[in-house]
């Protein structure tokens, strides 16, 4: 009976997190990263720079929406309590990223993706599938996902306006955190995914990031 209640608690927590994620009702536990020296307010950016920064931060926000879905699904399907806690802890840390990117979107006068419920549902389904294939596969999926996200964030640092130090500071910290999550999953026993799977993951990410840039 206790196991059923525990499973019910996990599902209720996951549902609550899903609603908070897609409605942007989350709060960061850590302060928003700031660049060394002086910061830049949106007024210091041209309209074109604000539009570009807003589009890039919207893509990053979508990535964090998907991260919440993936980690919640993988926590639900984890076969060991230690892995379940690792996934849940990573999800809690990713909430900071979600809140930071939402805050920056507000400051830039931009908005989240209109398709966030769809992104969440799709990522949740992928996370459930990865989890059902076993803990090593699930961990390997985390490693590959976070490595790809790290590369994606590095490309955004090249595209963000140099004067937008506020957005750049957030992306820099996110990049550090994603690398740590990948390292933790690898150390926990994550397996290397087959090349075709990695390729499919990159293709799916490309569709998501391209669409979220505009919608």
Cβ 102 vs Cβ 61: under 8 Å: yes
Separation between Cα atoms, residue 180 and residue 194, nearest integer Å: 22
161: three-class secondary structure by DSSP:
coil
Higher-confidence residue of 10 and 65: namely 65
Of the ranges 13-17, 24-28, 186-190, the best mean pLDDT one: 186-190
Give per-residue pLDDT as tens, 58-91. 999 998 898 888 888 888 888 888 888 888 788 8
Does a structural domain hold residue 31? no
Does a structural domain hold residue 32? no
Q: How far is CA 16 from the centre of its chain?
A: 17
Does a structural domain hold residue 56? yes
Which two tokens mark 7? 């499973």
Domain that holds residue 58: 2-23+46-212
Does a structural domain hold residue 66? yes
Give per-residue pLDDT as tens, 21-59. 777 777 787 888 886 554 445 448 888 899 999 999 999
Does a structural domain hold residue 178? yes
State the average pLDDT for the chain: 83
Cβ 174 vs Cβ 153: under 8 Å: yes
Give per-residue pLDDT as tens, 108-167. 999 999 888 888 888 888 888 888 888 888 888 888 988 999 999 999 999 999 999 999
Cβ 78 vs Cβ 87: under 8 Å: yes
Does a structural domain hold residue 58? yes
Does a structural domain hold residue 28? no
Whose structure tokens read 């799709």? 122
Number of structural domains (the chain) is: 1
Q: What's the CATH number where 134 sits? A: 1.20.1260.10
State the pLDDT at residue 2. Answer: 37
Does a structural domain hold residue 81? yes
Separation between Cα atoms, residue 141 and residue 123, nearest integer Å: 12
State the pLDDT at residue 4. Answer: 42
| pTM summary value | 0.84
């Amino acid at each position: 009976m206790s196991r059923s209640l525990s499973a019910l608690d996990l599902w209720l927590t996951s549902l609550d997190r899903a609603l908070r994620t897609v409605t942007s009702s989350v709060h960061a536990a850590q302060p928003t990263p700031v660049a060394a020296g002086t910061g830049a307010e949106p007024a210091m950016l041209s309209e074109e720079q604000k539009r570009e920064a807003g589009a890039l931060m919207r893509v990053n926000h979508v990535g964090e929406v998907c991260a919440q879905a993936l980690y919640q699904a993988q926590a639900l399907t984890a076969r060991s309590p230690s892995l379940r806690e690792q996934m849940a802890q990573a999800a809690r840390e990713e909430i900071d990223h979600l809140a930071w990117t939402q805050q920056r979107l507000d400051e830039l006068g931009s908005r989240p993706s209109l398709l966030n419920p769809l992104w969440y549902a799709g990522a949740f389904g992928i996370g459930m599938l990865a989890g059902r294939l076993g803990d090593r596969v699930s961990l390997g999926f985390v490693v590959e996902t976070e490595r790809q996200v790290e590369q994606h964030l590095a490309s955004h640092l090249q595209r963000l306006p140099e004067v937008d130090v506020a957005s750049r500071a957030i992306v820099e910290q996110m990049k550090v955190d994603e690398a740590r999550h990948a390292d933790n999953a690898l150390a926990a026993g994550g397996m290397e995914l087959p090349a075709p799977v990695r390729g499919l993951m990159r293709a799916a990410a490309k569709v998501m990031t391209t669409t979220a840039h505009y919608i």
